[in-house]
Structure formats: structure tokens, C-alpha cells
């Protein structure tokens, strides 16, 4: 397995890290978890929003890695860009929960830019 494939697994698990952090340290309603999360405020609401955004960003990244592997893109470049994507997504989660909006937007752009760059590496 390549580093990029391992990064796909890491990126797939990141949304769950966000939701676990939103639920940590409190009693949540496991009968209606989505309604409970929707009613949260502050950092818990931001962690839930980060979870949703992580699910939205994942398909672009996963498909980019698959296309890059399928087309024989330079593996070192793909691996590096995949690591950048995962690092940016971790930073995104941290900056979202910490309410650092401008920095959050910047790391979001780095993450999406790295996924697009993986596609470009495939050409």
C-alpha cells in the first residue's frame, strides 16, 4: 500500500474524530444524535460543522488518489500531496473548533488545493 492510500484511510476517519470531540465530556442523546448535535452551540457546534465539511471534502481527495494511481502519476508527488491534504484537514478541524475563521479558510484552501494538485499530477 502506498502512503497516499494510507492517507485516504486517515482522511476517511477524520470526520469521526470531529464528531467524537463534539460529543466528548457530555451526555448526548444517542437515540437522536443528529438532533442533539444540531442543537449544540459554541465549540461543539463547530466540531460538528467540521465533521460535515470533512465528509464533503473526502470524495474529491479519495477520487484524486485513485485517478493518480490509475494513470501512473509520480508516486512521490502523490504521496507528498496526500500527506499535505491530511495535515491540512487536521489543521482545519483544530482551527474550526478553536474558532480561528481566517486561518481555517486558509488551511481549507491548502487541503482542496492539494487534492486538485493530485489530479493535475495525473496528467
| pTM (two decimals) | 0.94
Instruction: Indicate whether 25 pLDDT > 90.
Output: no
For each of the domains in the chain, give its residue range(s) and CATH number, in order of start.
3-121 (1.20.120.550)
| Residue pLDDT, tens place only, 62-120 | 999 999 999 999 999 999 999 999 999 999 999 999 999 999 999 999 999 999 999 99
Instruction: Indicate whether 122 pLDDT > 90.
Output: no
Closest to 21 (Cα-Cα) out of 81, 92, 70: 92
Give the 3-state secondary structure of residue 48: helix
Ramachandran region, residue 74 (left: φ > 0; alpha: ψ -120 to 50; beta: rest) = beta
> To which residue does cell 473526502 refer?
58
Close Cβ partners of 75 (under 8 Å, ≥ 6 residues apart): 2, 4
Amino acid at each position: 500500500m502506498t502512503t497516499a492510500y494510507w492517507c485516504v484511510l486517515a482522511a476517511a476517519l477524520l470526520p469521526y474524530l470531529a464528531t467524537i470531540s463534539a460529543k466528548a465530556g457530555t451526555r448526548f442523546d444517542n437515540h437522536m444524535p443528529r438532533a442533539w448535535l444540531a442543537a449544540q452551540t459554541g465549540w461543539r457546534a463547530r466540531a460538528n460543522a467540521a465533521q460535515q465539511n470533512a465528509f464533503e471534502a473526502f470524495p474529491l481527495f479519495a477520487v484524486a488518489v485513485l485517478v493518480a494511481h490509475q494513470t501512473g502519476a509520480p508516486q512521490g508527488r502523490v504521496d507528498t500531496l496526500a500527506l499535505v491534504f491530511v495535515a491540512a484537514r487536521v489543521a482545519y478541524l483544530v482551527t474550526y473548533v478553536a474558532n480561528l475563521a481566517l486561518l481555517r479558510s486558509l488551511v481549507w484552501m491548502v487541503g482542496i488545493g492539494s487534492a486538485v494538485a493530485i489530479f493535475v499530477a495525473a496528467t
